[in-house]
Chain A
Amino acid sequence: MTMTNRVIEEFKAEFKSVDITEAPYEKQGYHLSIEARTGNLLNIIDFLDKREFYIIDLFCVDYQDYLELVYFFNTHRELCRIKVTLKLDPVKPVAPTISNTYTIARWYEREVHEFFGVYFEGHPNLTYLFLHEEIGHYPLRKQHVPVPDGDKKLLNSFRPHEEENSFFINLGPQHPSTHGVLRVVLKMDGEYLISAEPVLGYLHRMHEKMAENKSYMQFLPNPARMDYPGALLFNLAYVEAVEKLCGIEVPERAKYIRTITCELNRIASHLLWLGAFPADLGALTPFMYAFDDRENILDILEDVTGSRLTYCYFRFGGLYNDINEETFIDATKRFIERMRERLVMYDKLITGNVIFINRVKNIGILEQGQAKKYGFSGPVIRSTGIPFDMRKVDPYAAYGSIDFEIPTGHIGDNMDRYMVRMKEIEISLNIIEEGIKRLPSGPFKTEKVPKKLKPPKGDIYNAVESTRGETGVYIVSDESDTPYRMRWRVPSYSNLMTFPHLSRGVLIADAIATLGSYDIVVPEIDR
Chain B
Amino acid sequence: MCDTIINIVNIVGKEVVRTVIGLVGVFIVVLGNAIMLTWTERKVAGHIQRRIGPKEVGPFGLLQSFADSVKLLGKELLTPANVEKPLYFLAPTLIFVPVLVTFVVIPFDGFLQVKDINTGILVILAFSSLTVLSILIGGWGSDNKYSLIGAVRSVAQNIAYEIPLLLALLPVILMANSFSLRDIAEAQRGAWFVVYQPIAFLIFFVASVAETNRTPFDLPEAESELVAGFHTEYSGMRFSLFFLAEYTNMFIVSAIAVTFFLGGYQGPILPGVVWFFIKTYLLVFVLLWFRWTFPRVRFDQLLNFSWKILIPVSFLNLLVTGGILKL
- Residues in A lying within 8 Å of B, measured CB to CB: 167, 169, 175-177, 191, 278-285, 287-289, 292, 353, 355-356, 358-359, 507-510, 512, 516
Contact = CB atoms under 8 A, between A and B. Distances in A.
A233 to B, nearest CB: 27
Pairs of residues from A and B, 3 with the lowest C-beta to C-beta distance, nearest first: A282-B296, A288-B49, A283-B295
Interface stretch (B195-203, B219-227, B317-325): B219-227
B75 interface: no
A283 B292 CA distance: 7
Given A281-B295, A282-B223, A512-B225, A358 B149 contact: no
B220 to A, nearest CB: 12
B293 interface: yes
B292 A284 contact: yes
Given A169-B146, A355-B216, A509 B227 contact: no
Contacts of B300: 507
Contact of B218 (A167, A282, A359): A282
B222 A509 contact: yes
11 contacts: A191-B153, A278-B295, A281-B224, A283-B295, A284-B292, A288-B51, A356-B295, A358-B297, A359-B295, A359-B297, A359-B301
Contact of B48 (A280, A285, A358): A285
A501 B298 CA distance: 21
B49 A289 contact: yes
B292 A285 contact: yes
Interface residues of B, number: 27
Contacts of B308: none
Given A353-B294, A355-B297, 20 more contacts: A176-B227, A177-B224, A278-B295, A282-B215, A282-B222, A282-B223, A282-B224, A283-B294, A285-B49, A288-B50, A288-B51, A292-B50, A353-B295, A355-B294, A507-B298, A507-B299, A507-B300, A508-B149, A508-B225, A509-B296
Contacts of B45: 284-285
A53 to B, nearest CB: 37
A356 B224 CA distance: 15
Nearest to A356: B295
B324 to A, nearest CB: 32
B49 A282 contact: no
B85 interface: no
Nearest to A280: B224
Contacts of A509: 222, 225, 296, 298-299
A114 B45 CA distance: 48
B294 A282 contact: yes
Nearest to B218: A282
Contacts of B153: 191
B294 A358 contact: no
A359 B293 CA distance: 15
Contacts of B218: 282
B55 interface: no
Contacts of B223: 176, 282
A167 B294 contact: no
A49 B276 CA distance: 72
B160 to A, nearest CB: 15
Nearest to A358: B301
A353 B48 CA distance: 17
Q: A176, A282, A289: which has the most chain B beta carbons within 10 Å?
A: A282
Contacts of A282: 215-216, 218, 222-224, 294-296
Contacts of A292: 50
Interface in B279-300: 292-300
A126 B153 CA distance: 38
A479 B51 CA distance: 55
Contacts of A516: 224
A395 to B, nearest CB: 38
B18 interface: no
B252 to A, nearest CB: 23
B297 A177 contact: no
A285 B298 contact: no
Contacts of B145: 167, 169
Nearest to A512: B225
Contacts of A176: 223-224, 227
Contacts of A285: 45, 48-49, 292-293
A507 B296 CA distance: 14
Contact of A512 (B149, B224, B297, B299): B224
B206 to A, nearest CB: 12
Contacts of A359: 295-298, 301
A353 B146 CA distance: 28
B54 to A, nearest CB: 15
A278 B223 CA distance: 12
Contacts of B296: 281-283, 355, 359, 509
Nearest to A357: B295
A353 B295 CA distance: 9
B210 to A, nearest CB: 13
Given A288-B49, A292-B50, A283 B222 contact: no
Nearest to B298: A509
Which of B222, B227, B295 has the most chain A CB atoms closer than 10 A to its own CB?
A: B295
Interface string B212-250: 000110100011110100000000000000000000000
Contacts of B292: 284-285
A364 to B, nearest CB: 13
Contacts of B222: 282, 509
Contacts of B50: 288-289, 292
B299 A191 contact: yes
B207 to A, nearest CB: 16
A209 B43 CA distance: 49
Contact of A510 (B51, B227, B295, B298): B298
A448 B225 CA distance: 55
Contact of A279 (B216, B224, B293, B301): B224
Contact of B149 (A191, A287, A356): A191
Nearest to B301: A358
Contacts of A508: 149, 225
Contacts of A507: 298-300
A289 B50 CA distance: 7
A515 to B, nearest CB: 10
A283 B215 CA distance: 8
Interface string B36-65: 000000000100111100000000000000
A167 B146 CA distance: 12
A75 B145 CA distance: 44
B48 to A, nearest CB: 6
A292 B48 CA distance: 13
B16 to A, nearest CB: 47
A175 B229 CA distance: 12
Contacts of A356: 295
A148 B170 CA distance: 75
A279 B223 CA distance: 9
Contacts of B225: 177, 508-509, 512
Contacts of A279: 224
Nearest to B216: A355
Contacts of A510: 298
Contact of A175 (B48, B215, B216, B227): B227
A282 B298 CA distance: 10
